[in-house]
Amino acid sequence: MSDSSYVHGYSTTESQRLSDQANTLSHLLHHDSVFRPAGLVLEAGCGTGAQTVIVAPQNPQCHFVSIDVAEDSLVKAEESIKKKQIQNVRFQVADVFDLPFNDESFDHIFICFLLEHLQERTGALASLKRVLKKGGTITVIEGDHGSAYYYPRSSAAQATIQCLIDVQAAMGGDSLIGRQLYPLLITAGFGDISVSPRMVYADASRPEMVDGFTRKTFIAMVEGVREQAINSGLITEADWNKGITDLYRSAGADGTFCYTFFKAVGKKL
């Protein structure tokens, strides 16, 4: 990940946002993140461990090596698993493009919200494939910011979402990535690929989704690029404020909000 950049910083607020997101979405994304028992799993780009603390405990017979380039994130990840008394994870500072592991070391690769931040997405997948055993599988989970739509519709709100997409793109990432998982895995040479969309839908009859996802995950993520978007001239402060106000209407009594994550599983043939 040496040549990649992150939209997500790791302030306390951001850490809380990632944790809220993980709780709301854990069942949707991870109820089937179950690997062959006794397997060695490489989690690449674990960050502060928001997914690690969900996936490691539900695979108690596997051992996890969870890597990230950011040492300060791993300190927080380590604290998280100690607090939850999770025993089957070892954290290690490592670069996904220069993995300090032998060829065919792992039974499974697990990556979640990593590719969206990378410029060399196929390169990252090829690097990960090297350390995967033949017959081993890879699980990739990504969102797609182009999958967000809502009611009431608003071009002002859409402009703020476009800022999020543009800021991430300017850093070399691609937040419209969920829809691309199939061709990315094909290009990287994986086989037996199966992609399943995981759609979030929130209306007032599902207050936990409205609060946990629409407000505290998606809108919070958009609000996270406010300074960058305004300072870089992507949008005026007035337009930004109007857009955010409109976005919050989708979390109101007559509002609805939709977003889709994509989960892909492929095999090294």
Interface with its own copies (CB under 8 A) = 144, 146-147, 149-151, 153, 176, 179-180, 182-183, 186-187, 193-197, 199, 201, 203-205, 254-256, 258, 260
Cβ distance to its own copies smaller for residue 93 or 204: 204
- Supply the minimum distance, in Å, between the C-beta of residue 109 and its own copies: 19
Closer to its own copies by Cβ: residue 35 or 259: 259
Query: Which residues have C-beta within 8 Å of that of residue 189, sequence separation ≥ 6?
Result: 126, 129, 268
Q: Which is nearer to its own copies, 90 or 153 (CB)?
A: 153
Closest approach of Cβ 144 to its own copies, in Å?
A: 7
Least distance to its own copies from the beta carbon of 11, Å? 31
Q: Can you tell me which residue has the tokens 């090829």?
A: 126
At its nearest, how many Å lie between its own copies and the CB of residue 234?
A: 19
In the complex, minimum distance from the CB of residue 140 to its own copies, in angstroms, rounded to a whole number: 14
Q: Partners of 43 in the beta sheet? A: 66, 110
Shorter beta-carbon distance to its own copies: residue 57 or 146: 146
> Which residue, 37 or 183, has its beta carbon nearer to its own copies?
183
Q: Smaller CB distance to its own copies: residue 133 or 179?
A: 179
Minimum CB separation of residue 151 from its own copies in Å reads 5
Least separation in angstroms between residue 208's CB and its own copies is 15
Q: Tell me the DSSP string of the chain.
A: -TT---S----HHHHHHHHHHHHHHHHHHHTT----TT-EEEEES-TTSTTHHHHTTT-TTSEEEEEES-HHHHHHHHHHHHHTT--SEEEEE-BTTB--S-TT-EEEEEEES-GGG-S-HHHHHHHHHHTEEEEEEEEEEE--GGG-EEES--HHHHHHHHHHHHHHHHTT--S--GGGHHHHHHHTT-EEEEEEEEEEEEETT-HHHIIIIIIIIIIHHHHTTHHHHHHTTSS-HHHHHHHHHHHHHTTSTT-EEEEEEEEEEEE--
Tokens 């109820």 sit at which residue?
31
Nearer to its own copies by C-beta: 34 or 204?
204
